[in-house]
Every structure is written in structure tokens, then in C-alpha cells.
Chain A
Amino acid sequence: MQFASTAKPATAVLYDSDFGRNIDNVLALALLHGFASKTQARVSALTINYPCLEAAELCDIIEGFYRKAVTGPGATYMSAPAIGVIDARGKPAEAPALVTGTLAKQAEGGKPQWQSNVRHWSDTAVPANLIRNDLAAQYDGNAVMVATGAMTNLSRLLALHDTAPLIAAKVKMLVIAGGGFAAGAIDSGFAADATAAKHVLAEWPTPIVFCGREMEKTFLFPGQCIGKDFSYVPVHPIVEACRAYRAMPYDAPACALAAMLYAVRPGDGYFTASKPGTVSLGSDGRTSFNESAGGKHSYLTAVAAKHDEAIQRFTAMVSAEPVVIRPFRKQQKEEPPKEAPAAKS
């Protein structure tokens, strides 16, 4: 059931990722939920760009964890949002250890800790359709796309009939956690489907901002937070995912976190965007940037003076306790970030 609206809701964030292949992109989802709990963003569409049903299961479990905060009459009208996963075409990808380890978590009595709504491929959505349909429901200029991993889903989105004008109208910018601009690193996501990456770089109709892989060295998510900041529940899926990924404690490279932070809070001064230009993908899988007036691409560099504040910010938001989400609720003030343990760089 829908109700007429009188004001624009918070920015819709559509997140396309190789969810579960690393902890960074899982933490980025938690960060997005943190912003959603403060009504600074909305979790609008989640899609996965490698063919792994188990990754969708985990994504749905994490969504369900945050969704449980919604109670009362409104909950009757909430159904589980679809998780988009690229189709396997007979060749599903092996589930990463982060995914299988988290799904294997058992509650007392040996039952699975969490139940997912995703059991079959038919429980998941076609990513391009999901994104298109979600964009159609957004106010003009009130959506941000965040992507990490292969660009296949976005390329297929662009291939849908008459979708480019819809993207141009609805999406403020596409923020890609990927590419390499400091040392020209090879991005495994781009390399996984170079044709799709080139298609997106050439045809995506809005500005694209790159949060390059060099951010992985600049920003590390402090592992010590995992042990203490999520204690508002006895068992937290994000904590279990961190444990399943690698032996604790560790500081996690935070490129996707940085991209998500910029996507939701671009004006907070944590990053500087380059002048406009064009990013190209070479045959060796490396990205290069050529400055040009009128170019739609730019890349971010971290502002050194605000580095620690940025880490404190996303540390606090990743571990924010879920609250009842009302899309038209006024933006909530954040508490001053606690002093985060220094990350090992």
C-alpha cells in the first residue's frame, strides 16, 4: 500500500557489489544501514554481480536483521525486498568462505542462527530489472548508485530499452569503488568483465566518481571495533561475517566503505574529487585518467586532515543500532563519534 508523499525522502542508495567476496563490501552495507538509521539515506536496491545464491542468502539475512527493527502496524505492509543476483547460466560461483562461514553460524540447539528468505534462484531478482524498477520509483536526482566488483549488472541495465534517460533523470552520480589511479593497479572487478566495464565507462549517463583501490591503503576499518561496538545484540551477522572472513582481530581495507561514505555524504570534506576527465580501461586491465573539460569522470583522493574523522565516522555508523525507519522522518543528529582505535596501516 502506498501513501501520498509531501516531501522528498532521503537519498536512495542502490548498491551493486560482489557481496561477500571481501569484508569491505559487507561493512559498506552496514554503513549504509547506519546512515539509513539516521534518515540520511535509504537502502533502496541491493544487487550482487557474481552468480552466488549463498551470497544473496547472506545479504537477505543482513537485510532481515535490520528490517526486524520495524514493528507495529507498518510491519504488516513490509515484505522482504528482493535481492538481485546475476544469473548463473548453469555455472554458479562457489560461495566465498565469508559467506559459508556466516551462514553456518548455529544458534543454541544446533539450528541455523538465521533463516533467509532466499532459498532458490527464483527467490532472487534479475538485477537490471530490479535496479530499473527501483529507479522508476525515485524522485529526480534523488538516487545514488554505488558499485564495486564487475560492471556486468550495470552494463545490462544500460542495455534495457529506454533506460538511459531514466538513469540520467534519477541518479545523481555513480560512485565506483574500483580502478587504480595512484599506481595504476589492476581492478579485479573490471577485469572480470572488461566489456561490461568499458560499456559502463562509455555509456553511463551521469557523472561517475571513482574511489580507487589506493583507498584500501588509506582507509582501514579498525578490527577492534568489531569486538565491542556491536554488543547491543548477542549475535550480530556483521560480526559473524568479519569472523568468517579472517581470524580476528584485523584491520580491513575499506575502499567500498569510503565509496559509500562519499556517496551519502559527498559534502563532508573527507575527499577531494579530481577535475573532470575520462577514465579508460586498458587492455592490461589498468585504468587511466585523462583530464578533459566536460568529462563525466573524476576520482577521489582522501583529505589527510580529515582522515581520522572519516574513520571515526564510518566506524560509528557501521555499528549503529537499527531503529524504526520512517522514510519521511527528519534527519537525525549523529552523536559525536567515539574515539576509534587507531587502525594499523
Chain B
Amino acid sequence: MITRKALARRTFLRGTGAAVALPFLDSMVPAMAKAATAAEKPVRMAFVYVPNGIDMRNWNPDYEGKLETLPRILKPLDKFKGDFNLLGNLTHNAGRALLDGAGDHGRCCASYLSGVQPRKTMVDIKASQSFDQIVANQVGQKTRFKSLEVGMEDSRQAGDCDSGYSCAYTNNLAWRSETQPLPPILNPRALFDRLFGADAALSPEARKRRALYRRSILDLVSSDAKRLALDLGPTDQRKLDEYLSSVREIELQIERAEKDNSRIDPGMEKPYGIPSDFAEHFRLMTSMMTVAFQADLTRVATFLVTHEGTSRAYREIGIPDGHHPLTHHRNQPALMEKVAQINTYHVQQFAGWLEKLKSIQEGDSNLLDNSMIVYGAGLSDGNRHLHEDLPTLIAGRAGGKFQTGRRIVYRRETPMCNLFVTMMDRMGVPVDHFGDSNGALEGLDLT
């Protein structure tokens, strides 16, 4: 006879002013319901957006079908070849001028997830609710946060950022409504506190006391964790230990970043707490998204790596030139080479995130398998500002629904929004159409 009660999925470790959500544990599955629960595993979805297009000569393979030799920019993903699909010929017509003249950077970012052409203005901004927010409003009922909006580059939310397009367009991916963009959280500490509610919930005195003793959030919940551990089997104990260690590691990384914020000059001012080192910042933000997915704090995330039109320099890899000016290379090989290096550097960081997601077991699969992680840009050729054949890869198997490891080239002018319609369906939010979609994308599902 089975008498032991299953642990609730929404169990938190609690302490004074802190609440740490738990990852998916075997103990959360009632003994007689393992098979049913396997089918109900949450699917997560994230977008990683890189600006200014990609050097498409080094992105697109010259073949279709099974992913074999990867082009230069995608080389860092070599060991994940079986975990993603590389999609070709997806188009965002809403990013094109359509009589609105210059401003491709503003348009391509604002239309990327909203699927509509934004109004050309610096004042009364208007786009549309982005599809991630439509999903978040539905699946977010089951999680602590409807969605997470994350970024890495400090940027304005007002003024002219591209030929008459408001900075709100170039600096945000997610839109809560047609007039409300959701600015990304840039500061790792702020994101950490949002996820775990540590400092925000403390009284000013307690916050001061905690800062004085620099206590870890895990210290605050340690007695609860110890009590819980007594009820867990060895596998779950190991999972819990690994999870709490990764939370602690994030804390330590943030502390290190706050102490040492001046090793590398990115060419612009950084607010306190934001690491100067690009790779470290990327790792921190994605680590926290990982934890958020792992603990089912949210199932929807957007990550604006740097903002559209950015002129950030990449001295980390020996490139002192601004990213955006480089992309207008006029086919000069030396400049094109630098663009390819920046694109590759970004993908290297992304590969690190995939590795992390793949390393986290969830039942008989892993966190990456139970996700849809899109990496892409709103422009293909940044030199010519093209909005067709957008560089797009989607990693993860959507909870076992997608077949991965392939290069799929659709016909030209296939709407990017078709991908979104497909993803909405796999997130359990089916719609007839979104933006300019004319159906779902074929070829992704297991046959």
C-alpha cells in the first residue's frame, strides 16, 4: 500500500524574507501517476535576440536535412547539433519599410515578437502585444512570474534611437500591450532579488543587517531545506543539493561582479552591479533563467542580449570598433571578419547556456528537451538591412514534440509568425493566426 504523500510542485523553502522555489523532484510525482505526469511536464520557451543581423555567409549551411558540418558562426554549437533545428527563409515583413522609410533597427526589434509594424514615432509608441506575452498570460497563471524579460545593455527608453523610431522600439523585445513594452532587467542582482524575493521583502533594518553579514539567501532558508531533506530519497537529495549549489554559485558570481566591475572597458558606462565582462554577464543572466525554468518560477523568457543598433565594442575579443558601424561593412573583408567574430562570440555564450540546460535532468529527459529556445535576430544581412531569411535556430524538443538536428529551409516569404503560431500551440495556447502568419511551420514535429 502506498501511503506517502507527494511533495507539492509549488513547494518553497522559506526563511525570513526569502522564498526559494524548488526544482522538479521525483517526490513531487505521486507514485501511481508517473506516466501521466510525464505527459504534463511544463514546456518552457525563451528568445535570445542578438542585434544588427548576422554574417549570413558564415551562418547558413549549403545543405538541407540532417545537421552535419556547421558553418563558422555556429561551430560552438557543434556538440549540440542533435538538439536544435536551423531554420531558413523565415521573413518578418512587418520589419520592412512598407512606406515608412529608414529605421530598420527600430522596426525589426519592435516587430520581432509583436508581429506588427510599429508606429514611426518618438512619442506615442504603438506596436502590439507580443506573442510571448499572450503565452505568458495563459501559462503564467501556473507560475510565480508570468514571464521574465532580461537584457545586458543599459539603454534609454525614450528619445530617437533610429531615424524617428523611439528607443522603446530598439530596446525592448516583449510588449505587454500595444503601448507597453516590458523593459528587460539588466542587473543580475535585481534579477536575483526578483526571482528569490530576498531583499525586496526585508525591512530596511533586516536588509542592512543582511548586507552587513553578507549572508546567503540559502542561509535564510537552510533550516527549511534541512527539514525537507529528511523526507527526500537519495536521488532527490542530490538534485536538491545541486540546485541549491547552483543558486549559491549565482550569488557568488554576482558578488564577484559587484566587487570587480572594471576589468574590461566595454566602451560605455555600466551601472553598479552589472558585470563589465560580457561572457560573465551572459552566464549570470542565463544561469538565473535556468534556475527560473528549473524551479518553474516562469515558463516564458526573453533575452535581449544587446539592443538593436548597438555600437558596443568587443574588446574582450580584440574588437574595439562599434558593432553597428562594423555591420555596415560595404563588403570590406576586414570589417566582415570582425562581424563574424562578434557573431561567433555571441553563439559561444549561447552554447554555454544550452550546456547548462542540457545538464539538468527532469525525469527521463532534461531541461533543454523540455524547452523551446530560439536564438535569432531581426535582420539577416545587417549591411543591407534585410528582413528575409532571418537567422533563426530553435533548440530543445518542446517536451518531446519536436524532432531536432536538422536544417530546414522554408520557401521564401514564409512568415516568422508561423514559427510563433507553432510555438504557441506547443505551449498549450493554440491560435488561428498571429501577425501575418498563414499557418504553422511544417517539419518541426516528430513524425
Contacts and interface: CB of A to CB of B under 8 A. Distances in A.
A121 to B, nearest CB: 6
Contacts of B412: 82, 122-126, 130
Contact of A129 (B99, B101, B409, B414): B414
Given A79-B386, A87-B411, A122-B411, A137 B99 contact: yes
Nearest to B415: A129
A94 to B, nearest CB: 21
Contacts of A5: 99, 101
B97 interface: yes
A304 interface: no
Interface stretch (B87-95, B185-193, B212-220): B87-95
Chain B at the A interface: SS class:
loop
Contacts of A172: none
B102 A4 contact: yes
Interface in A124-140: 124-126, 128-130, 132-133, 136-139
Nearest to A156: B438
Contact of A2 (B385, B410, B437): B385
B97 A2 contact: yes
B411 A161 contact: no
Contacts of B410: 122
A133 B414 CA distance: 10
Given A2-B101, A122-B64, A128-B438, A133 B413 contact: yes
A120 B409 CA distance: 10
B52 to A, nearest CB: 13
Contacts of B330: 76
Interface residues of B, number: 30
Nearest to A130: B413
Contact of A132 (B331, B386, B409, B436): B436
Contact of B104 (A1, A123, A132): A1
Contact of A124 (B93, B411, B433): B411
A148 B97 CA distance: 30
B417 to A, nearest CB: 10
A132 B99 CA distance: 15
B98 A136 contact: yes
A2 B413 contact: no
A132 to B, nearest CB: 7
B411 A121 contact: yes
Chain A at the B interface: SS class:
loop
Contacts of A4: 101-102
Contacts of A123: 412
B50 to A, nearest CB: 20
Contacts of A133: 91, 93, 96, 413, 436
B101 A125 contact: no
B110 to A, nearest CB: 16
A58 to B, nearest CB: 17
Query: Which of B88, B104, B436, B437 gathers the greatest number of chain A CB atoms within 10 Å?
Result: B436
A160 interface: yes
Interface in B382-433: 384-386, 388, 409-415, 432-433
Given A1-B385, A129-B413, A137 B89 contact: no
A34 B37 CA distance: 66
A3 B347 CA distance: 32
B415 A139 contact: no
A169 to B, nearest CB: 12
Interface string B108-148: 00000000000000000000000000000000000000000
Contacts of A136: 93, 96, 98
Contacts of B385: 1-2
Contacts of B384: 1, 76-77, 79
A126 B413 contact: yes
Nearest to B163: A4
Query: Which of A76, A77, A126, A160 gathers the greatest number of chain B CB atoms within 10 Å?
Result: A126
Contact of B438 (A3, A124, A138, A160): A160
Nearest to A138: B99
A3 B101 contact: yes
Nearest to A121: B411
B330 to A, nearest CB: 7
B418 to A, nearest CB: 10
A138 B385 CA distance: 19
A3 B414 contact: no
Given A76-B330, A129-B415, A160-B438, A137 B98 contact: yes
A130 B385 CA distance: 18
A126 B438 CA distance: 10
B419 to A, nearest CB: 14
B413 A3 contact: no
A160 B415 CA distance: 12
Contacts of B433: 161
A70 B88 CA distance: 28
Contacts of A124: 411-412
B88 A82 contact: no
Given A122-B88, A132-B436, A2 B102 contact: yes
Given A76-B330, A122-B64, A2 B415 contact: no
A136 to B, nearest CB: 5
Contacts of A160: 438
Given A76-B330, A76-B331, A79-B384, A126 B99 contact: no
B59 to A, nearest CB: 16
Given A76-B330, A77-B384, A132-B436, A2 B411 contact: no
Interface in B238-275: none
Nearest to A139: B99
Contacts of B98: 136-137
Contacts of B99: 5, 137-139
A27 to B, nearest CB: 26
Interface string B37-75: 000000000000000000000000000100000000000
Contacts of B411: 87, 121-122, 124-126
Contacts of B93: 132-133, 136
A127 to B, nearest CB: 9
28 contacts: A2-B96, A2-B97, A2-B102, A2-B385, A3-B102, A4-B101, A5-B101, A79-B386, A82-B412, A84-B413, A87-B411, A121-B411, A122-B64, A122-B89, A122-B411, A122-B412, A124-B412, A125-B411, A125-B412, A129-B413, A133-B91, A133-B413, A133-B436, A136-B93, A138-B99, A139-B99, A161-B432, A161-B433
Given A130-B412, A136-B96, 13 more contacts: A2-B102, A4-B102, A5-B99, A77-B384, A126-B411, A126-B413, A126-B414, A129-B413, A132-B93, A136-B93, A136-B98, A137-B99, A139-B99
